[in-house]
Amino acid sequence: MPDSVIISKLFIFLRKNFMNLPRRSGILLHPTSLPGPFGSGDFGRDAYYFVDWLFSARQSLWQILPLCDIGTGNSPYMSPSAFAGNIFLIGLEALRDEGWLKNEDLVPCTSFEKYRINFPAIIDFRTSRLKLAAGRFFETADETSKRSFQAFCLKSGFWLETYALFRTISEIHGPIWQTWPKPLARRDPVAMASFVSQNDHEIRFWKFCQWCFYRQWDALRAYAHSKGIDIIGDIPIFVSLNSADVWANPELFDLDDSGYPRTVAGVPPDKFSDSGQHWGNPLYNWKKHADTRYDWWIKRMKHMMDMYDYVRLDHFRGFQAYWAIPADTGIPARGKWMNGPGSDFFEAMKKEFGSLRFIAEDLGVITREVDELRKQYELPGMRILQFAFDLNPANPYLPYNYDHDTVVYTGTHDNDTTRGWWNSLPEQNRDLVRRYLSINGEWINWDMIRAAWSSTAAIALTPYQDILGLDSSGRMNRPGDKTGSWEWRFDWEQVKSWPSGYLAEMTEIYGRTYSRQ
């Protein structure tokens, strides 16, 4: 092949990839961490203020954690539904403005905390207010609102009916569906019809909450778009055992005849945990999914891509091979690698959606096969700066080893904050960081942000905790710990006037300004 042809083909390849992945930057912040008067962040006015802050800082991406309903340990990665939204993100003041709540309903609870979510308090408070709002909606709503609700129920019926029924049965018989009366656990049509007729009011409540959630989320996302900001969502690879999805589709999961898992999800020891992690989610019956041409997954992915502009695929390596832990041991080290669906899965996704707007969370134990699968479908991978400084010059997390198809983070929700990481870093590694970045470490959070922004990675992101310069008190999640995570939130008094301008200048200097137009 002539050199001119090779050069031409290379130029086209590079141009295609650089056009698909323009240089951009943004902030990782889950909406629950926003300020607000009712104990946790939500889709209310403070979410709009945060979009304004992103705009002032010239950021074009807002990454969030899964917006699905929370489950065990208040984790968004253990949701009772792969489709339903977290009802505690519904802005209550908007419901008051609709006339479905009153001012006296919105007196904050004395148990609410400014910098931490008291989950029992906010769950009790917000649930009771949502029930008040639902009651008034069904009594007093105008025809336009009622038609909107009915249209949502019709459009979302493929998951909403099951979810609302599952949550209602759970309130009566407990969250573990395997212990329900057998006719309900096995979804006997006669028993189900009888239950629906007796509990229609409660079922309608859960549908109302989902309508409110998606209505408010769509409005917030549209506002972000008006400011030139795209949303990066997050799809957990696994779902909770105690979920509407497993109850309604037991054949899609590796369960025994009683509905309990034979094997559960987790990971072997890695950079996040020396002993490995036991997540406890049921594993998929991938053969059954393949037999249905991944119908459930296609519905799930379409739902996610309707919600977000890009989707982070949590635990991407699990699609190539996953760590199966025998359910009767609960010990991560006793698991073994099992083959995932691999390219067959992504071919089905590509056939359905064409362009795959996915970011592969390729952290942990990554093999050549995992990397090849990611590259085969041109999915950008992730690099974490906190993992870079282990004195190994070949470390893939060092910026000079990045490919362009990379999303670099100072840290993720699973890491300590940058200041917390720095405070616990051995002196030998600190010395390398200081020499690599030519710094003294006093502004380590901003030094790491600059390293990310100046890198060759297409996308650079940092948790908002690093913008605020918080220590370990701002950590969002501690992998392996079953309590105390997902509770962090900030207050506007922590946000100084200068960081937005400083970040905006850095974004311009390193060519990460971006326009959606």
Output the DSSP codes for 41-108.
Answer: --SSHHHHHHHHHHHHTT--EEE----BPP-GGG-TTS-S-SS-B-GGGS-HHHHHHTTSS-GGGGPP
Is pLDDT of 83 > 50? Answer: yes
- Mean pLDDT across 38-44: 98
pLDDT band at 196 (very low <50, low <70, confident <90, very high): very high
Give the pLDDT confidence score for residue 277 in this predicted structure. Answer: 87
Active site residue 93: no
Is pLDDT of 224 > 60? Answer: yes
Active site residue 171: no
Instruction: Tell me the C-alpha distance between 282 and 19, whole Å.
Output: 39
Nearest-CA neighbor of 187 among 205, 156, 161, 207? Answer: 161
Give the pLDDT confidence score for residue 96 in this predicted structure. Answer: 98
Give the pLDDT confidence score for residue 517 in this predicted structure. Answer: 62
Is pLDDT of 9 > 50? Answer: no
Residue that wins the pLDDT comparison between 13 and 425: 425
- Mean pLDDT across 372-378: 96
Residue that wins the pLDDT comparison between 295 and 10: 295
- Mean pLDDT across 374-402: 96
Give the pLDDT confidence score for residue 8 in this predicted structure. Answer: 34
Give the strand pairing for 230-235 and 263-267.
Answer: unpaired
Give the strand pairing for 230-235 and 61-63.
Answer: parallel
Give the pLDDT confidence score for residue 76 in this predicted structure. Answer: 93
Give the pLDDT confidence score for residue 60 in this predicted structure. Answer: 98
Host H or E run for residue 160 = helix 157-173
Q: Which residues contact residue 198 at a Cβ distance below 8 angstroms, ignoring those fewer than 6 apart? A: none
What are the φ and ψ backbone dihedral angles of 135, each rounded to 5 degrees? Answer: -60, -45
Give the pLDDT confidence score for residue 482 in this predicted structure. Answer: 76
- Mean pLDDT across 130-156: 97
Is pLDDT of 99 > 70? Answer: yes
pLDDT band at 6 (very low <50, low <70, confident <90, very high): very low
SS3 content of the chain, % helix, strand, coil (to 5): 50, 10, 40
Give the pLDDT confidence score for residue 212 in this predicted structure. Answer: 98
Compute the mean pLDDT over every residue in the chain, rounded to the nearest whole number. 94
Classify residue 7 by burial, with Cβ atoms within 10 Å: 0-12, 13-18, 19+: exposed
- Mean pLDDT across 279-294: 96
Active site residue 295: no
pLDDT band at 10 (very low <50, low <70, confident <90, very high): very low
pLDDT band at 118 (very low <50, low <70, confident <90, very high): very high
What's the whole-model pTM score?
A: 0.94
- Mean pLDDT across 255-276: 88
Is pLDDT of 14 > 80? Answer: no
DSSP 307: H
Give the pLDDT confidence score for residue 383 in this predicted structure. Answer: 97
Catalytic residue, from 230, 254, 405, 414: name it: 414
- Mean pLDDT across 301-329: 96
Instruction: Tell me the C-alpha distance between 405 and 356, whole Å.
Output: 14
Give the pLDDT confidence score for residue 459 in this predicted structure. Answer: 98
Instruction: Tell me the C-alpha distance between 132 and 123, whole Å.
Output: 14
Give the pLDDT confidence score for residue 69 in this predicted structure. Answer: 92
Catalytic residue, from 314, 362, 416, 447: name it: 314
Nearest-CA neighbor of 337 among 359, 380, 366? Answer: 366
Cβ neighbours, 10 Å, residue 45 = 15
Q: How many helices (H) and strands (E) does the chain have?
A: 19, 12
Catalytic residue, from 69, 361, 362, 466: name it: 361
Instruction: Tell me the C-alpha distance between 197 and 178, whole Å.
Output: 22
Give the strand pairing for 336-339 and 321-326.
Answer: antiparallel
Is pLDDT of 269 > 90? Answer: no
Q: Could you tell me if 38 and 122 are in contact, meaning their C-beta atoms sit under 8 angstroms apart? A: yes
pLDDT band at 320 (very low <50, low <70, confident <90, very high): very high
| Residue type present at position 156 | S
Q: Which of 6-15, 193-202, 225-234 has the lowest mean pLDDT?
A: 6-15
Q: Which of 421-430, 465-474, 479-488 has the lowest mean pLDDT?
A: 479-488
Is pLDDT of 378 > 90? Answer: yes
Q: Could you tell me if 339 and 358 are in contact, meaning their C-beta atoms sit under 8 angstroms apart? A: no
